[in-house]
Chain A
Amino acid sequence: MSELLAQFVNLLGALLLMLAFAMISQRRILTLINLFTLQGLVLVVSTAVVGYVTGQPHLYLSAGLTFVLKVVLIPVLLHRIIDRLEIRWDVETLINIPTTMLIGIGVVIFAFNLATPIAMLSTSLARGTLGIALACVLLSFLMMITRAKAVPQVIGFLAMENGLFFAATSATYGMPMVVELGIALDVLIGVLILGVFMFQIREQFDSLDIRHLEKLKDQ
């Protein structure tokens, strides 16, 4: 039974990777937010399952916190920001999408290769997923780099945190509660501040295109 559940956690890890990949190749902002919400949901389920199998009740608390934050609060916040900024257009990318996907594959191979020796050291239930989690983090970072508008960059930042959370759960059965709460708070504040920044950028340049920020250079 626990063997089956371990494979289930693997499956959830694969889903997470698929969602990260789908986010890289997405063009529309609303779909990006929906994918992010789905990622949060997958994370909640996986944390709960790991908590059930290993009998560590504090993981249930983590799962609950993640649910409240990542599936409810932050998506609502993002939807409101989008409504107020009246963003409806497609996301522009700095390099075209097939090339981004190809770079994504290279990143995935790198992450998998890096994780294999480390995973041998761990004794946790779902240690095979360390590589997947690392790949998710790197893919979200890639998404942040290749987008030209501010909102997808914020989502990429949040997705990175998702990947880190999954890595923590699979390798060490969650972080100490204090650290966890601290990270959650940081993320929340980060999003609020980024939201404020986005308004400022919009006012200054009449657009959320981050390439305009280059005009601030001293030249």
Chain B
Amino acid sequence: MRGAGPWGLKDDGFDKVMDLTGWLRLDWILVAVVGGWLLIGVAGVLGLRRFTFVSRVLFPAGGALGLLLFGLALGAIFGAPEVAVLPIGLPNLPFHLRLDSLSAFFLMVIGAVSAGISTFAAGYFRKAEGTPPGLLCLEYHVFLASMALVVLADDAYAFMVMWETMALSSYFLVTANHRVPEVRRAGYLYLTMAHIGAISILLCFGVLQANTGDYTFDNMRAQNLSPFWASVGFLLALLGFGAKAGLVPLHVWLPEAHPAAPSPVSALMSGVMLKTAIYGLLRVSFDLLQTRFWWWGGLLLALGLATALFGVVFAAVQVDMKRLLAYSSVENIGLVIASIGLALIFSGYGMKALAALALTAALYHVASHAFFKSLLFLCTGCVLHATAERSLGKLGGLIRYMPWVAWVTLIGVLTSAGLPPLGGFVSEWLLLQSFLFTPGLPDALLNMLIPAAAALVALVAALAGYTMVKFFGVIFLGRPREEKLAQAHDAGAWERVGMLWLVLGCVALGLAPVQFIQIIDPVTQQLLAAGLGRTVAASGWLLAPISVERASYGPVIFLIGVAASFALAFLMVRWFYHGRLRRSPAWDCGFPWQNARMQDTAEGFGQPIRQIFEPFFVMRRELPTPFDARPRYRVVVEDHFWGWIYLPLAALAERIARLVGLLQQGRISIYLLYSFVTLIAMLLVVKR
């Protein structure tokens, strides 16, 4: 059923509130939220250096609009798709916009997460950075608005315009501290990779419209492409959206750009922008393409698992806290892509219920990753502000000076490690459950390879736990490795509110999976004509996607069980025995001159991973000799892909550029000769 607002046909609305002005949710979103964000951005430019106005008024307003978006999208998921046509755009291709369940889900994620991040940013931005605050406000809100519009776009032109706007605004945000050379370099790399992806996406849309000249998505849905062209379109989409999402080997910009940006921007990029790439992939493969082949799913599964393993292994050996989180994002995106691949495999064989299970796992992980990764990046922002240190080798013991941030980070870390009863575990559980159904597949080879893939998922999840213990332990626990850490201050009020909202999201995703799956149900119904909603609703608070005998998980009972045992043990011990405590120096094995430098370093904690997974890395070591008066040890771990792909490509580009540069002789007569030759050639062609 199609409905449209004041720009199109009249329609019957569903909600009395919405019906007040004859406007549908899509219209409300466009005017109130997107328009509001753009207005805030403009207001920021008008008050370019008015720091308090920008940070205390404009950013919280942006956060409130995010919450509004979350509410509107939540309502829209259960409703029918809505369409709008804007009077801007090309002469015979105005902007088409469409709000269906898939867009609504991603809008929910964008709205909810950005609300928390904007609130945090209200308290975070300080005066001394390279860009004036008003300009930062403009770029930030344009970024948010363009992400929302990317998800709403219903034709290729609108999509590409919004995609480019997203890339450009985030480039400016990444290079906010443009006085630092590394930041400029990271931004340049980011922009290059974003454009390579954009070209691929454009080519994909070109293939999808199959020579009809009509670039609207509705037209693409109606096309019936041959298997060859459908596969070409899919591969181009994979290349383009994969470059934005961070699939190996196109991930190289992620570990550079995310650390270089200010922390709220890193959170936004990692938590939200990567999800728009996932949205694009889902839109193209499940909505715009009408047939699906199982080998697409196999390719996605293989790539996703390779990315996940690569990301987590690299994350485990990092010594910079933001790079660690960036590689961890690569890992999580890999898991999402692997789930989508599994859904494609099932869908290619017509097993719709199982495809819905795998797709639900993917979407759940999208939501939960958005929350916990943003939370973790915001916490590193607090640490960075308090200590001005990003390197793990100079942090430590911060739980004493920043307890609030530490406890909030602990929740984020536990969610990231995929531990029950928090949000990261549910998506992992759903994914492993869908792997267990694969022996029903008709193909014997797939039947055998997929349990091996399940083993890899389990390995990645365990390694993620390792990485997160390292992250939390080296930063917050132990003894401070530098003296200045004693002056670290805790988070401010705005920052606390923002982080608390995200913590609420992580916990809610963990404790109420049944409700969230019922929210995801319309999305899978739209894409696959199957969903878990009904089976899940049958078991109440227990998550049992197929049946209770088959598999079940009850996070609330779980939490109550652990908490009850905790409380009972505490009380019983105090009742029967006592609760006396004494303090004393730590055990030193008879060596009383222990200092903070004797703790494990970040390199040390990553050493077993470096040893076991040695072929993954390019390592450069500087080892001290026995004769050094001040011995130093340094190990730098790098990516193979730079040497295999990017450096040769860059060298090739340079050589071609040099060859072309030969044309520039610097003498006017030569240039006139070029014009003369071209003129003669054109006359010859015209003569024919």
A residues adjacent to B (C-beta < 8 A): 98, 105, 109, 112-113, 116
Contact indicator A109/B452 (Cβ below 8 Å)? yes
Contact indicator A113/B445 (Cβ below 8 Å)? yes
Which residues of the partner chain B approach A116 to less than 8 Å between Cβ atoms?
Answer: 444
Which residues of the partner chain B approach A98 to less than 8 Å between Cβ atoms?
Answer: 612
> CA separation between A98 and B608, bound complex, in Å?
14
Contact indicator A105/B445 (Cβ below 8 Å)? no
Which residues of the partner chain A approach B557 to less than 8 Å between Cβ atoms?
Answer: none
B562 at interface (Cβ–Cβ under 8 A)? no
Q: Mark B447-467, 1 if CB is under 8 A from A, else 0.
A: 011001000000000000000
Which residues of the partner chain B approach A112 to less than 8 Å between Cβ atoms?
Answer: 448
Contact indicator A109/B448 (Cβ below 8 Å)? yes
Q: How far is the CB of B181 from chain A (nearest CB, A)?
A: 40
Which residues of the partner chain A approach B449 to less than 8 Å between Cβ atoms?
Answer: 109
Q: How far is the CB of A108 from chain B (nearest CB, A)?
A: 9
- A98-B612, A105-B452, A112-B448 given; name 6 further pairs at CB < 8 Å: A109-B448, A109-B449, A109-B452, A113-B444, A113-B445, A116-B444
Count residues of B near A (Cβ-Cβ below 8 Å). 6
> CA separation between A112 and B445, bound complex, in Å?
9
> CA separation between A98 and B452, bound complex, in Å?
16
CB closest residue in chain A, given B613: A98
Q: How far is the CB of B543 from chain A (nearest CB, A)?
A: 32
> CA separation between A138 and B445, bound complex, in Å?
18
B residues adjacent to A (C-beta < 8 A): 444-445, 448-449, 452, 612
CB closest residue in chain A, given B445: A113
Q: How far is the CB of B72 from chain A (nearest CB, A)?
A: 49
CB closest residue in chain B, given A108: B448
> CA separation between A105 and B453, bound complex, in Å?
12
Contact indicator A113/B612 (Cβ below 8 Å)? no
> CA separation between A32 and B299, bound complex, in Å?
40
> CA separation between A30 and B444, bound complex, in Å?
39
Which residues of the partner chain A approach B445 to less than 8 Å between Cβ atoms?
Answer: 113
> CA separation between A180 and B64, bound complex, in Å?
83
> CA separation between A113 and B447, bound complex, in Å?
10
> CA separation between A98 and B611, bound complex, in Å?
12
CB closest residue in chain A, given B455: A105
Q: How far is the CB of B196 from chain A (nearest CB, A)?
A: 33
> CA separation between A173 and B448, bound complex, in Å?
28
> CA separation between A15 and B398, bound complex, in Å?
53
CB closest residue in chain A, given B448: A109
Q: How far is the CB of A45 from chain B (nearest CB, A)?
A: 28
Q: How far is the CB of A109 from chain B (nearest CB, A)?
A: 5
CB closest residue in chain B, given A96: B614
Which residues of the partner chain A approach B444 to less than 8 Å between Cβ atoms?
Answer: 113, 116
> CA separation between A116 and B448, bound complex, in Å?
11
Q: How far is the CB of B377 from chain A (nearest CB, A)?
A: 34
Question: What are 10 A-B contacts with C-beta separation under 8 Å?
Answer: A98-B612, A105-B452, A109-B448, A109-B449, A109-B452, A112-B448, A113-B444, A113-B445, A113-B448, A116-B444
> CA separation between A105 and B449, bound complex, in Å?
10
> CA separation between A113 and B450, bound complex, in Å?
13
CB closest residue in chain A, given B444: A116
Which residues of the partner chain A approach B452 to less than 8 Å between Cβ atoms?
Answer: 105, 109
> CA separation between A119 and B375, bound complex, in Å?
54
Which are the 6 A-B pairs with shortest beta-carbon distances? A113-B445, A116-B444, A109-B448, A112-B448, A113-B444, A113-B448
CB closest residue in chain B, given A117: B444
> CA separation between A82 and B445, bound complex, in Å?
42
Q: How far is the CB of B40 from chain A (nearest CB, A)?
A: 54
Q: How far is the CB of A125 from chain B (nearest CB, A)?
A: 22
CB closest residue in chain B, given A113: B445
CB closest residue in chain A, given B446: A113
Which residues of the partner chain A approach B448 to less than 8 Å between Cβ atoms?
Answer: 109, 112-113
Which residues of the partner chain A approach B612 to less than 8 Å between Cβ atoms?
Answer: 98
> CA separation between A135 and B444, bound complex, in Å?
16
> CA separation between A112 and B446, bound complex, in Å?
12
> CA separation between A109 and B449, bound complex, in Å?
7
> CA separation between A113 and B449, bound complex, in Å?
10
> CA separation between A116 and B612, bound complex, in Å?
34
CB closest residue in chain B, given A109: B448
> CA separation between A98 and B612, bound complex, in Å?
9
CB closest residue in chain B, given A112: B448
> CA separation between A98 and B613, bound complex, in Å?
10
